[in-house]
Amino acid sequence: MPPAVAALAKRAEQQRQSGDAGGAAATLERALRIQPQEAYLWNRLARVRLEQGMSESASKLATRSNTLTGDQPALKRNNWEIIATARRQAGDLQGALEAERKAGGG
């Protein structure tokens, strides 16, 4: 990841942790304009959207991250955990169970 993008990702995480989810999302979107193939950034944006209660968006973003993860099993597992939580929040219990199974490596 280029240094400028890494700095944006770090700033977004600081914003998220301080409760500025909107700022974190905007910072991550800026980073994604620079590095759109970076799975980690899509994962972080999915996490922010999940925390904002935007379940459908979180699930889509985590799915997008999964298409880019390559050989990053921990990131893929975290994406499936986000998808499971998002589906549960949306009332899709069967979908949540399926995502949890995939998060567990099944």
- Contact predicate 94/78, CB 8 Å: no
- pTM of the predicted structure, to 2 decimals: 0.93
Query: Taking each helix axis from N to C terminus, what angle separates 73-89 and 39-51, rounded to the nearest 10 degrees?
Result: 30
Handedness of CA 82, 72, 11, 1 (dihedral sign): negative
Summarised one tens digit per residue, pLDDT across range 20-60 is: 999 999 999 999 999 999 999 999 999 999 999 999 999 99
Residue 63 confidence (pLDDT):
98
Residue 106 confidence (pLDDT):
63
Summarised one tens digit per residue, pLDDT across range 6-16 is: 999 999 999 99
Cβ count within 10 A of residue 75? 19
User: Tokens in use for 70?
Assistant: 């390559």
In which band, very low, low, confident or very high, does the pLDDT at 105 lie, cut at 50, 70 and 90? confident
The structural domains of the chain, ordered by start, are: 3-103 (1.25.40.10)
